[in-house]
Structure 1
Amino acid sequence: MKVFKFGGASVKDAAGVRNVANLLQTVGYENTCIIVSAIGKTTNALEDVVKRYFENEDFEKTIYDVKEHHIVLAEELFENPVDVSNEISQFFDDILSFLRRNKSPHYSYVYDQIVCCGELISTKIISMYLNSINLKNDWLDVRDYIKTDNTYREGKVDWKLTEENIKELPTKGLYITQGFLGSDPNFFTTTLGREGSDYSAAIFAYCLNADSMTIWKDVPGVLNADPRYFDNAELLNHISYEEAIELAYYGASVIHPKTLQPLQRKEIPFFVKSFLNPKEAGTEVSKGQPLEPKVPCFILKRDQHLIRLSSKDFSFITEDKLSGIFNKLYDYQINVNLMQSSAISLSLCLEDKYNNLEKFAQDISVDFGIQKENNVLLYTIRHFEDQSDNVIPKDKELLRQTVKETLQIVVKG
């Protein structure tokens, strides 16, 4: 089996869906499992539905708008769109029905039950379209295969049960299923974290002992820098698993951090290619491949927060105090992207995905003095050279740290 993954940008409109079909006919689709994200910005819109629901605002108009967008897509793809339009309408009727009867105050639980519909709808449309042009395939509900615990929005995969489920699939045929989703022991929907569709593809590749996995993007492969923020970005032809994991850890947006680990365990070759130019080589990630070309790699993480904790009594920040700080960071689901310590202070560059930083700061202020700089930028340069940091505004620099070949700089936003 091969595993392909298509993100929302590749299927954002009718032309994109047709391009996926053309791509499959160009590169081959026999014995392939395809993982697909929600169409375009659907996930963002459904997130807004959940937010409005909990704030007692009108959410039905947003649902209607998303539904209409998908129905228009179906009308552009199908000569007779009645069947697929009915499927689409059923998904959105289910969303409304769930929200009207829901009694749970748990935001993350409700989030997963609503946001999942984006992937379910997109894959249903694509599966039906491919069947309509004689690319015969089977649509799978990924929640029957990827099993997790009940950590909503960050489901932890039950690898044993997931592998047992996926191994039941015949190794011949074309399958279409969803990224990002799983289900807990009670069959409630869970999600694997934002951008988790890449991870879903890696899970299937691992469990199917796939020959390869390919992520199809709107870029030619893995670049040494995001061209939105850096000039003269270069294509990386080859990367080792280890280097790719380092890049993902520091925030390279083209690869999801959790994606690489299952692939590395079974040494499954992993490609990042352009869905616009599918015959181009793209980037290969595999065992022992050197970084080629060997150039500095630039990563920018936005929406970061820099805090400096200092002992109120001027005592050393010892291991027991560090343990207490990091336990609280874990409890508040705050990620640490850089840490620098001295005898009586600790500087942390943090990512606050769940808006818990103020609660953390209030909690920790009992024992520590706090200085805080919100909305900073974190630059990371792998394999930096003497002039590599020229792209970073020196007058805004707040903190700098070098570890071997990696330079990290925090600057004001």
Structure 2
Amino acid sequence: MQINVLKFGGTSMADHKTWKQVLQIIQKYEWPVVVVSATARTTRQLVEAAHLASKGKLDEALEISKSIQERHHKIVEDFLDENPHGKNKLIKDSCEKNTAAKISKLNKLLTYTERQNKLTPQMKDAIAAMGEQISSYLLAQCGLALDMMTQHIEARKLIKTDAEYGKANPNRLLINQHCGSLETVLDSGFTPIIGGFYGEAPDKTITTLGFEGSDYSASLIGGAVGAETIEIWTDVSGVYTGDPRFIPEAKPLSEMSYFEATEMAYFGAKVLHPSTLKPAQERNIPVLVKNMFNPEDSGTRIVRESENDLDVLALSFKENIATVTISAYETVMGYSFLTRVFSVLEKHRLAVDAVNTTEASVTIALTDEEILDELSKELIEVGTVRIEKNKGLLTLIGCSLYAANDLVEKIFSVLGETKTDMISFTKEKRILNIVVNEAELVKVAKKLHTKLF
């Protein structure tokens, strides 16, 4: 049995017409396992409703809940109207009943949040995961109107995690055990439809895998079932040399390595969740990034080893960056100073995007979060602290060592008089990071892309 795991998200779950395209793509596979995200905008709306409820604005939160219910009703209604079938009344009733039950649960969670006057990470996850719970059930039901044997599978039965709400860590052993049931479903002729992004903690509460975590769900399932491929279906034809939303002349890459794709995702590329490729890499499963609106496009193939002769493979960028510079007090020894700095970062599980060090000071670039103020209070015990916000991070992936001098010359000719806060290069990873003011980030990224590609 050669299983293909297909993930659909974002614009591919926008309306009844895209749902039809999704189902038509699924029909082309013999043994597909399907993972879907929430419908477009739903997760953001759910999080917004949660925050409104925590601030005592329950009426506004419930209005959002009502709009989500109405939007899903319309998608199903329009889908069934355009795809007549003898079972459509049963399908519609089933969809309305399921959605009503989910919205009722959502409203209870919002009401509880308002009473508590705060939004806990656990409650935020329970609310945010509602989108995938609704969309996966409804899409499976709509498949029946096309005479497909689609079957909804509750993701909580498969994706087991720890209780790190907001960015839960998967329990790979349990996931592998539970995903064995998918082969039984496939053997029976059914196509499993599963909501991505969320899972279940040991105490049976809902957790999420982080924003855009549906990719990660697909990869975890693909690794567990030993899939032939894991396919990420999106609205672009693969991974590009730059973000095509900001850089129209960016081109899709035909192939790249797991490492290169992971680094691109980590440093801001929106096509993949940064953790997506770990399970695929362990099982050496190719990951394909394809365009659902142009399914015949080859897209990008992500594999263990990829050969290219480019000076730079791709450019990505991140907004909302802060630089933190810690300078050691005279009484602190160099080795002790660095150890203490990084132990504070480890304590808060903060990922550092770029770093420059000397014996007596260290500058780190990281995502600007509320925790920075608390971080600075702890770091003040180590040395003086200076935080600069409103920064952006430019990252060049796959820099050729053979063309290093030429590359540096091109980069600095583009930067010109642009204020650069930090430059770091990692030889082993072939990654060059540049920190600039956020206001200039996109402009510099466009110029760099034009010069390098």
Whether 2:297 is the aligned partner of 1:280: answer yes
Percent identical = 27
The Cα of 1:292 is off from its aligned counterpart by 7.1
Q: Contact between 1:334 and 1:356, CA under 8 Å: does it hold in 2?
A: no
Pairs within 5 Å for 1:12-411 = 12-25=14-27, 28-58=28-58, 59-79=61-81, 80=89, 81-101=92-112, 107-169=120-182, 170=184, 171-172=186-187, 173-291=190-308, 295-311=312-328, 313-315=329-331, 318-353=334-369, 355-384=370-399, 385=407, 386-388=409-411, 392=415, 394-404=417-427, 405-411=430-436
The Cα of 1:304 is off from its aligned counterpart by 0.5
SS in 1 for 2:387: strand
Deviations 1:73-122 (A, max 9, x none): 22211244333122211110011123435687661100111111100101
Deviates more, 1:271-280 or 1:363-372: 363-372
The Cα of 1:317 is off from its aligned counterpart by 5.8
The one-letter code matched in structure 2 to 1:318 is G
Q: TM-score w.r.t. structure 1 length?
A: 0.93
SS in 2 for 1:361: helix
The Cα of 1:406 is off from its aligned counterpart by 2.3
* Structure 1 equivalent of residue 437 of structure 2: 412
Q: TM-score w.r.t. structure 2 length?
A: 0.85
The Cα of 1:148 is off from its aligned counterpart by 0.8
- Cα pair distance change 1:78/1:336, threshold 3 Å: same
The one-letter code matched in structure 2 to 1:47 is V
The one-letter code matched in structure 2 to 1:23 is I
The one-letter code matched in structure 2 to 1:64 is K
- Cα pair distance change 1:358/1:381, threshold 3 Å: same
The one-letter code matched in structure 1 to 2:380 is S
Number of aligned residues: 409
The one-letter code matched in structure 2 to 1:19 is Q
Point out the structure with the larger helix share. 2
Give the whole-Å Cα distance in 2 for the aligned partners of 1:381 and 1:295: 7
- Cα pair distance change 1:85/1:394, threshold 3 Å: farther
Deviates more, 1:325-334 or 1:47-56: 325-334
- Cα pair distance change 1:287/1:343, threshold 3 Å: closer
SS in 2 for 1:252: coil
Give the whole-Å Cα distance in 2 for the aligned partners of 1:281 and 1:186: 43
Q: Contact between 1:381 and 1:388, CA under 8 Å: does it hold in 2?
A: no
Give the whole-Å Cα distance in 2 for the aligned partners of 1:296 and 1:240: 11
- Cα pair distance change 1:224/1:408, threshold 3 Å: same
The one-letter code matched in structure 2 to 1:98 is L
SS in 2 for 1:254: coil
Give the whole-Å Cα distance in 1 for the aligned partners of 2:67 and 2:198: 23
Q: Contact between 2:54 and 2:119, CA under 8 Å: does it hold in 1?
A: no
Give the whole-Å Cα distance in 2 for the aligned partners of 1:293 and 1:403: 17
- Cα pair distance change 1:290/1:82, threshold 3 Å: same
- Cα pair distance change 1:178/1:394, threshold 3 Å: farther
The one-letter code matched in structure 2 to 1:409 is I
- Cα pair distance change 1:392/1:34, threshold 3 Å: farther
Q: Contact between 1:296 and 1:388, CA under 8 Å: does it hold in 2?
A: no
Task: Give the gaps of 5 or more residues in structure 1.
Answer: none
Deviates more, 1:402-411 or 1:243-252: 243-252
SS in 2 for 1:335: coil
SS in 1 for 2:181: coil
Give the whole-Å Cα distance in 2 for the aligned partners of 1:365 and 1:148: 35
Give the whole-Å Cα distance in 1 for the aligned partners of 2:238 and 2:287: 11
SS in 1 for 2:49: helix
The one-letter code matched in structure 1 to 2:421 is L
SS in 2 for 1:302: strand
The Cα of 1:394 is off from its aligned counterpart by 4.0
Q: Contact between 1:3 and 1:213, CA under 8 Å: does it hold in 2?
A: yes
Task: Give the gaps of 5 or more residues in structure 2.
Answer: 82-88, 400-406, 439-453
SS in 2 for 1:78: helix
